[in-house]
Amino acid sequence: MSDPPAVQGSERGASANAPRESNRIGKLLVATAVGILCLILLVGSVTVWIIYHRPPPLMAVASFRADFEEGSPKPGWRYLWNPTGDIGKTNNYRDLVWNGQSYGFDETPTFPRPNPAHYMRISREGGHPAHGKNQRGDIDTYVIFAYTVTNAGFYLITNSFLIRSDGKVNGNDNLRVFINEQPVGPEIIVETKTPQPFDRPLGRLNAGDCVYVAVGPNGTDRNDHFKLDFTLMARLEKARQSKR
């Protein structure tokens, strides 16, 4: 006769625990919903920050072959050589002259020209340096591809190559890169018909800074005709507005 009271007590305990269990589940669901909402808000905020703070894309600023023009260089470009002093000192540079076929020593297209110019020239595909130090007794005479930037930003050389047209015959070509008068990256020695890249970062440049790509004879200019191309890419900075 004692069993019925025990069953009734168990039912009363279960009834008393039901509201507490339901309340616990409700709180858990609310906490989960709040957590999901916070996560959505956080992801949205990060996405908005990335959209408005991501760096500008890289863009092509100049490309030698694409920009090459006969008669006179395209704005921003100059074609130079260093007849009076060593490479890396801009006071030693002089402009090359269009001669009807290429940029060279003067307006006469026949070769050789007076020393130290010799077979020096720049054409759409590349060029040829002038006499080397073993010939003139003091310096290597380079042909120089110069571009002056007009906007501040972070620059690099891409899609570059240098080919020595005659390969390993009577020496090699030497390529050097300068920003103004400061060398940037390693020198390249080329003695092959296989394209040799000279891609490199140039760092942050200001408007008015000049990039010089110089190709020299590395001692003597025999068989030094070369083919070359390169592109200047930049991540430009946004123009700063002056405060009023």
Peptide bond into 112 cis (omega under 30): yes
Instruction: Give the mean pLDDT of 26-31.
Output: 68
Residue position matching structure tokens 């916070």: 38
Phi/psi for 65 (5° steps) reads -65, -40
Q: Is the pLDDT of residue 17 over 70?
A: no
Architecture of domain 59-236: Sandwich (2.60)
Q: Which tens digits make up the pLDDT trace of 197-240? A: 999 999 999 999 999 999 999 999 999 999 999 999 999 987 65
Compute and round to an integer the Cα radius of gyration of the chain. Answer: 35
Q: How confident is the model at residue 116 (pLDDT cuts 50, 70, 90)?
A: very high
